[in-house]
Structure 1
Amino acid sequence: MTTSLFFLMWGLATALALPLLLPLRTRGVGGIQAFTVANALAAFSMLSYASAEIVPPGLYVMLSNATWVCAVSLVYVGVRQFFGLRPHIARTLGISGICIAAFAWMLYVQGNLVGRMVLFSVFTCVVMLATGRLMYRHRKRIHTRGVMLYVMLAVFGLAALHALRVVVYGFGWEAPVSMLQLSRWGLVFIVCGSVAVPALFLALLLLIQTSLSEQMQAALTFDSLTHAYSRRSILDELDHELHRCDRGGGKFAVLVLDIDHFKSINDRYGHAAGDTALRHYAQVVQNAVRGSDRFGRMGGEEFVLLMYDCDPARALVQAQRVCDALRDTPLYLQGVEVPMTTSGGVATYQMGDSADVILARADVALYRAKEQGRDRVEMAWNGRGAGRTQVGGLAGGAAANAPVATCETSETTA
């Protein structure tokens, strides 16, 4: 009765993750359904032993072993699905079916307790090692520190526990007895298992929740279409850098970019082609600029490049590289080469700049570049702009005093 109570507590502890896994099934992360079913089967496996007083031995032993094999197999399948790999469902089910058939043969025909116990633990150990190997190979897909370490400790810990069980019973360290009969090693395995199995499913739950959290953070940080930084994150970074420059000085420049004649691409080839053009543009620009700079999409076809430790001369060089890269990397839509150029405005940091002010100066230069023929970058005035809402009015007044550059760059000072 005491051992049955152990298994009851073990099963309930294993089921603790189940109410938390169930609401996540529709969240679009691979493996959630497999983990949920595996958790339910593992809990049922433990509860089968807890029902030994009311269920015939030949039934509860087989139920427990079969459901455990299916649970462990589903954990492996779920991990493969989580990392976007082929789940190998047919192969895994085939191996599991053979293992269950072997259990039935040993239980009902041979009465081989040692063979069942060793097979049970060998299967669990091998599957957990394969699962842990997968997690180690793909550990960098989860960026939150400590999560993959905890998950791998849970997986390899369970594998180690069953490896020890194989040694103890396979090499005759202790005479095998039913798990319901207390023995020295049997008690060790029950106590350790009641920790290791719930820890495994809580670790899988943590893995899923961390993945969802990182996806949400990525959605806030990056633009879903172009994979450039989002408007929110680029403005936050701009504010941060301006405050840093205010405190300690520094060279900093902002390049506002706009795709030339983008509307004509949408009108002629359709909005899907427009999305392709935006992705192409973002990829080309990101490949052309320094790795330390930050490139983001403000909306539509307007982008911003934050250039750190960059004086006006270097900023113009960077802008020139962007223009050259776009000319040298053609865009193909529906089998037709479509020329793509960009216009830009550069503004460099001045003491006391806010995000609105420095972007307004860059916008003035951008509009001036468009008025002067596009496919060019202009340097902003050194005076103050009132804000982005007044850019249209300022651009016309600035244009008369600006020299001309064809994706060549020019600078105008007040």
Structure 2
Amino acid sequence: MTAAFVLGINTFIAAIFAIAFGVVATMNRSARGARWLAVGYATGILTVLLEFAIPWQANPLPTAATIFLVYLLTLTICLVGVARHYGVEPYANVLAAIWLASILALPVIFSLPYGTALRGLIYQFPYFAMQVLACFVIWRSGRREPLDLLLIALNALVALTYLSKPAIGWLVGTARSSQEYMTSTYAAISQSIGAITLVALALVLLLVMMRDTTAEIMARSETDALSGILNRRGFDTHARHTLASARSTGDPLTLVAADIDHFKNVNDTYGHATGDAVIAHFAALLKETASGGAVVGRLGGEEFAVLLAGTNLADGRRFAESVRERFSAAPPVELGVEHVVTASFGVAQLTLADSLNDLSRRADTALYRAKRAGRNQVSLALNPLPRLPASPSQSLSA
């Protein structure tokens, strides 16, 4: 298999993945990394076309230097794409240092005899540095799922292939000049390695993006657009997981049901836009006051629920009282409301016999009790006492 044939395949592969990442970017506007990767793979096609041009040139030095820089640009764009997808900065200072060192190394690279190990090592080192930097970018994101770890491992492997190329050239021999590169065994091996790594990295990146896009779609389906917290479906899903975890560990669990008092009056007096702002404000208070592991949801209208892992009834009451006091402290004038708005709360702690529905019913009963008692207060659902077994004498008398 000749290097020219493999280069042709690489061109086709790069074009396919450029289109694939472009489609991902088009279908999901928030996939900023996909746009960069589409541009990166499209830029990589230029290096292949330039390789085909070298055999026809009497002085290949300008084109060879352009290939070196364009391929470095390709890796840079792809690195920025990966960083954008993972939501981290792409180490701009390190990128600038790699580019500066690469430009300064150009006269050294092309002054050394063609095919020597030292020339190959200096030539490949910036590419090695880019792949290592990609590993750090992904690691810095803090994501450790299997696909993320696989992507780090692949980038590390690709980095090592760049350093191995001078050794491969030494073992199989290289061309005597740039014009003869395409006919050499080294070129066929080098381009074949490039084709394999190109496909592997692109496929894993696409899988990562598909996974994250699916997770994003799922999150959107479980999120209440107005308040930014979980909707009823999302709350039920996450609450069941939290409840199952609490049962397995034996940790306490408390559910707080909340309802904004006289909310219809807010809508009737100030309009639905202001009512929406009050709902969003109350949801933000719930989320700010709750711990990081809490499940916070809007169940509909002005009704909310917060599931507090690792808390008992007293902890749940303190949480509810804190939100109640903050919400009713003063009229939310900044929201366009000129009178104090309050909320009522019902708190219930999980018992051994409770399902999520049972826990919700007891919290709702406590909430309605708070409403009937005058609103703007917290009511507790006391856990039922365990039934004592009947004594023999009681059984006989019965």
* TM-score normalised by L of structure 1: 0.68
Contact 2:290 2:319 in 1 (8 A): no
Take 2:319 and 2:98, find their aligned partners in 1: how far apart are those partners? Answer: 57
Q: What is the deviation of 1:277?
A: 1.6
Take 1:244 and 1:204, find their aligned partners in 2: how far apart are those partners? Answer: 32
Task: Show the counterpart of 1:138.
Answer: 141
Task: Show the counterpart of 2:8.
Answer: 8
Q: What is the deviation of 1:322?
A: 1.7
Contact 1:259 1:302 in 2 (8 A): yes
Take 2:339 and 2:200, find their aligned partners in 1: how far apart are those partners? Answer: 56
Task: Show the counterpart of 1:35.
Answer: 37
1:206-355 to 2 correspondence within 5 Å?
206-223=207-224, 226=227, 228-236=229-237, 254-260=255-261, 267=270, 270=274, 273-274=277-278, 277-287=281-291, 294-306=295-307, 314-315=312-313, 318-327=316-325, 334=334, 341-346=342-347
Task: Show the counterpart of 2:130.
Answer: 127
Q: What is the deviation of 1:219?
A: 2.1
Cα deviation per residue 1:190-235 (whole Å; 9 max; x = unaligned)?
A: 3322211222222322232222222222223444565543310223
Take 1:193 and 1:319, find their aligned partners in 2: how far apart are those partners? Answer: 62
Q: Match of 1:45, SS?
A: helix
Q: What is the deviation of 1:346?
A: 4.6
Q: What is the deviation of 1:77?
A: 2.0
Q: 1:162 to 1:236 in 2, by over 3 A?
A: closer
Task: Show the counterpart of 2:21.
Answer: 21
Take 2:70 and 2:234, find their aligned partners in 1: how far apart are those partners? Answer: 48
Deviates more, 1:76-85 or 1:157-166: 76-85
Counterpart amino acid of residue 18 in structure 1:
A
Contact 2:320 2:378 in 1 (8 A): no
Counterpart amino acid of residue 25 in structure 2:
R
Q: Match of 2:305, SS?
A: strand
Contact 2:125 2:163 in 1 (8 A): yes
Contact 1:323 1:375 in 2 (8 A): no
Q: What is the deviation of 1:164?
A: 2.3
Take 2:266 and 2:122, find their aligned partners in 1: how far apart are those partners? Answer: 64
Contact 1:8 1:47 in 2 (8 A): no
Take 2:5 and 2:303, find their aligned partners in 1: how far apart are those partners? Answer: 66
Where does the alignment leave 5 or more consecutive residues of structure 2 unmatched?
384-398
Percentage identity across aligned positions?
20
Q: Match of 1:31, SS?
A: helix
Counterpart amino acid of residue 131 in structure 1:
A
Q: What is the deviation of 1:4?
A: 1.0
Task: Show the counterpart of 1:147.
Answer: 147
Take 2:128 and 2:242, find their aligned partners in 1: how far apart are those partners? Answer: 52
Deviates more, 1:268-277 or 1:320-329: 268-277
Q: What is the deviation of 1:272?
A: 7.6
Deviates more, 1:88-97 or 1:300-309: 88-97
Q: Match of 1:374, SS?
A: coil
Take 2:341 and 2:157, find their aligned partners in 1: how far apart are those partners? Answer: 56
Contact 2:112 2:119 in 1 (8 A): no
Take 2:263 and 2:374, find their aligned partners in 1: how far apart are those partners? Answer: 15
Q: What is the deviation of 1:153?
A: 1.6
Task: Show the counterpart of 1:404.
Answer: none
Q: 1:55 to 1:373 in 2, by over 3 A?
A: farther
Q: What is the deviation of 1:318?
A: 1.8
1:370 aligns with 2:374: no
Q: Match of 2:87, SS?
A: coil
1:95-110 to 2 correspondence within 5 Å?
96=99, 99=102, 103=106
> Over aligned residues, Cα RMSD in angstroms?
4.8
Contact 1:242 1:353 in 2 (8 A): no
Contact 1:62 1:104 in 2 (8 A): no
Alignment coverage as a number of residue pairs: 368
Q: What is the deviation of 1:121?
A: 0.7
Correspondent of 1:81 among 57, 76, 84: 84
Counterpart amino acid of residue 278 in structure 2:
G
Q: What is the deviation of 1:152?
A: 0.8
Take 1:148 and 1:158, find their aligned partners in 2: how far apart are those partners? Answer: 15
